[in-house]
């Protein structure tokens, strides 16, 4: 059931925890959960790839996916795809990303989520950061012609810290590119998300919402209200001080109870937002 808060704050749920589902089952869950925006994956190698749309998909296949989403009262808000911009041939990686943009546009989505690249950060040089920076500029310009917003997710590696992210975005002024701020990923890779938030000089355009706890001396993702991150304080900073008005994407990553965890996290998140 949808509430007034559902309408005020745009909620969605990452497809990654549901990657063993079919699109129909994922859409059915979102509808039952009162979530009206879906996200999809393009050419993402996440076995068993049930939720991955391949670049070879025909327009008929994309139309069928849209019809399935619409039959459950959903629109496609975001897709994750793109290339690896740390590779030497950035032209090929940008071209791959532009191809994904056209698929995103055909799906009627607004956001394309990408990653900076997968190089071992110990091997990253000044040239690596310049290469990614050039790629992000070109991607933003291509996206602008398609009325799309590009969001780069912090996911360890060369996006582990706020300083690294600022370096990747240095000099980029396009308003249609920014960060998918994932507090859980910051903490998982050893960075306090509140401190990262204070140091970031990059627009935050999208939020992934998940938490992290320590179990048997090891960090694991968990429900929003069970982890280390002080989400109410984080949300106050983002919304009240920084004026964040973008989507909130639930990403409860435990496969064994992804539906129950996502539903509980939705209630927890809306409860916190109610008091802001």
pLDDT for the residue 48: 74
> What are 156's strand-pairing partners?
159
Residues contacting residue 157 through CB under 8 Å, at least 6 positions apart? 116, 117, 118, 119, 120, 121
Q: Is the pLDDT of residue 87 over 60?
A: yes
> What are 212's strand-pairing partners?
221
Q: Tell me: the pLDDT tens digits for 198-231?
A: 999 999 999 999 999 999 989 999 999 999 999 9
Q: Is the pLDDT of residue 6 over 80?
A: no
Q: Tell me: the pLDDT tens digits for 26-39?
A: 999 999 999 999 99
Helix, strand, coil percentages, rounded to 5, for the chain: 45, 20, 35
Output DSSP code: residue 33.
Answer: T
Q: Write down the pTM of the prediction.
A: 0.95
Output DSSP code: residue 87.
Answer: S
Output DSSP code: residue 18.
Answer: G
Q: Is the pLDDT of residue 184 over 60?
A: yes
Confidence of residue 3 (pLDDT cuts 50, 70, 90): low
Lowest mean per-residue pLDDT among 127-131, 168-172, 272-276: 272-276
Q: Which of 33, 56, 31 is nearest to 43 (CA)?
A: 56
> What are 112's strand-pairing partners?
79, 150
Q: Which two tokens stand for residue 90?
A: 């950035």
Mean per-residue pLDDT for 120-137?
98
Q: Which CATH number do you get for residue 18?
A: 3.20.20.150
- Number of domain units in the chain: 1
Residues contacting residue 124 through CB under 8 Å, at least 6 positions apart? 86, 158
Confidence of residue 121 (pLDDT cuts 50, 70, 90): very high
3-state secondary structure at position 50: coil
Q: Tell me: the pLDDT tens digits for 29-72?
A: 999 999 999 999 999 877 777 888 998 888 899 999 999 999 99
**Angle subtended at Cα 180 by Cα 224 and Cα 249, rounded to the nearest 5 degrees:** 40
The boundaries of the domain holding residue 104 are 4-274
Tell me the angle at which helices 23-32 and 59-71 cross, rounded to the nearest 10 degrees.
30
Q: Which of 19, 20, 21, 1 is nearest to 11 (CA)?
A: 1
Q: Which two tokens stand for residue 182?
A: 């994932």
Mean per-residue pLDDT for 113-131?
97
Beta carbons within 10 angstroms of residue 216's beta carbon: 5
Tell me the angle at which helices 126-144 and 90-106 cross, rounded to the nearest 10 degrees.
30
Question: What phi and psi, each to the nearest 5 degrees, are found at residue 72?
Answer: -105, 15
In the chain, what percentage of residues exceed pLDDT 70? 97
Burial class (CB in 10 A: 0-12, 13-18, 19+), 200: buried
């Amino acid at each position: 059931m949808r509430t007034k808060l559902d309408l005020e704050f745009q909620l969605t749920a990452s497809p990654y925890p549901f990657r063993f589902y079919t699109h129909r089952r994922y859409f059915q869950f979102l509808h039952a959960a009162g979530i009206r925006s879906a996200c999809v994956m393009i050419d993402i190698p996440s076995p068993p790839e049930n939720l991955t749309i391949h670049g070879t998909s025909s327009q008929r296949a994309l139309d069928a996916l849209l019809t399935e989403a619409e039959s459950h009262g959903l629109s496609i808000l975001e897709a994750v795809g793109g290339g690896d911009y740390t590779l030497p041939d950035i032209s090929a990686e940008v071209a791959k990303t532009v191809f994904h943009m056209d698929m995103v546009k055909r799906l009627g989505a607004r956001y394309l989520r990408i990653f900076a690249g997968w190089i071992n950060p110990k091997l990253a040089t000044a040239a690596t950061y310049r290469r990614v920076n050039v790629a992000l500029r070109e991607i933003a310009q291509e996206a602008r012609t398609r009325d799309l917003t590009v969001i780069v997710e912090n996911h360890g590696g060369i996006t582990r810290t706020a300083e690294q992210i600022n370096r990747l975005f240095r000099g980029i002024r396009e308003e249609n590119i920014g960060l998918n701020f994932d507090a859980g990923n910051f903490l998982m890779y050893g960075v306090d998300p509140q401190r990262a938030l204070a140091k970031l000089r990059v627009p935050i355009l999208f939020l992934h919402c998940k938490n992290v706890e320590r179990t048997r001396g090891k960090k694991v993702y968990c429900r929003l209200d069970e982890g280390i991150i002080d989400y109410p304080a984080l949300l106050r900073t983002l919304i009240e001080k920084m004026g964040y008005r973008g989507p909130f994407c639930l990403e409860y990553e435990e496969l064994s109870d992804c539906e129950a965890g996502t539903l509980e996290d939705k209630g927890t998140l809306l409860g916190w937002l109610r008091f802001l």
